[in-house]
Amino acid sequence: KRAGEIDLSSFTGHDIQAVVDLQYENEGRKEKFSTAPTAVTINSDVGLEVRREKKDQGGREVSVISWLLTNTFHDLKDIRVEGEWYGDATLDEAAATVPAGAIQVDAANKKIVWLVPTMSTTVDVLALQFPLTINKKNSTQTTLTGKVKLRARDAVTGEEMAVVGNEIPL
């Protein structure tokens, strides 16, 4: 089946034993080949989307950055999303919208970390938003933020998952 044809929420378990059976004809004889069982663990379908909305505030360019965390299969725990920004820009921590957990901003090293203890499957999206104000443009700078890294633990399987979100170009 194709990924779009599978509804993970209808699964009753997370461990699968997969076997491939291959039937073919060889010189008029029917042959059959089977692989050894392969164990597959179905982890949660956690996703991360990075968005940017540009605004002008008093002649200064402000980029409102959104990190959208999605999940529908298993609850998540120990969620850590982190990123960094470049150039002469300031992150306004007080203006951030934090839907769950907390953020840690290291302005000196231009890093932000979003820590969320748990995300239930009853919440399909968590969206962190924070503004980055560009203080002075650099004509050689091509990206505003680096790739965003997400780590989370599947509460059912216990497996740690990692997802990388896109960088934001200028």
**Domain range for residue 153?**
47-169
In the chain (170 residues long), the average pLDDT of successive 10-residue segments reads 65 77 91 89 92 94 97 95 98 97 98 98 96 95 98 96 96
Are 14 and 59 in the same domain? no
| 3 belongs to a structural domain | no
The answer to whether residues 143 and 96 belong to one domain is: yes
Q: What are phi and psi of 9, to 5 degrees?
A: -70, -15
Q: What's the DSSP call for residue 22?
A: E
The one-letter amino acid at 81: V
Question: 141: buried, middle or exposed (CB in 10 Å: 19+, 13-18, 0-12)?
Answer: middle
Please check whether residue 114 lies inside any domain of the structure.
yes
pTM above 0.95, yes or no: no
Domain match, 103 and 61 both? yes
Report how far residue 52's alpha carbon sits from residue 169's, in angstroms, rounded to the nearest whole number: 10
Domain count, the chain: 2
